[in-house]
Amino acid sequence: MLTIVISPLQALMKDQVDNFSKQTGTKLATALYGILTLPERGVVHESIRLGDVGILYVSPEQLRNYSFLKTISQREIGAWIFDEAHCL
């Protein structure tokens, strides 16, 4: 099951993922946002598809991205979390 966290702050997403990985010793959390390179995005999408990701931080604009929507449609979404109300 996948939890998606919508957050407008890229630096915060990276910090959250890094801290989660450090605390748990896992790579279950990742982030998808605008400054990632195409190869980096590909790795994230593949990890989501394979079920290796349990918590996904995304920027609001990803919700308009066809490849993102196609990727998450292959997973059961357990929760949508909005980090800041204006993301709605």
Residue 72 lies in a domain: yes
Q: How many domains does the chain have?
A: 1
Render pLDDT for 24-52 as a digit per residue (tens, 0 to 9): 999 999 999 888 899 999 999 999 999 99
For 35-38, which contacts have Cβ atoms below 8 Å and span 24 or more sequence positions?
35/10
Residue 85 lies in a domain: no
Residue 47 lies in a domain: yes
Render pLDDT for 54-81 as a digit per residue (tens, 0 to 9): 999 999 999 999 999 999 999 999 999 9
Residue 63 lies in a domain: yes
Domain assignment of residue 60, given as a range: 2-80
Residue 62 lies in a domain: yes
- Whichever domain contains 26, its CATH number is 3.40.50.300
Where would I find the H helices in the chain? 10-24, 38-50, 66-72
Residue 17 lies in a domain: yes
Residue 86 lies in a domain: no
- According to the model, what pLDDT value does residue 48 have? 96
The answer, yes or no, to whether residue 11 has pLDDT greater than 60, is yes
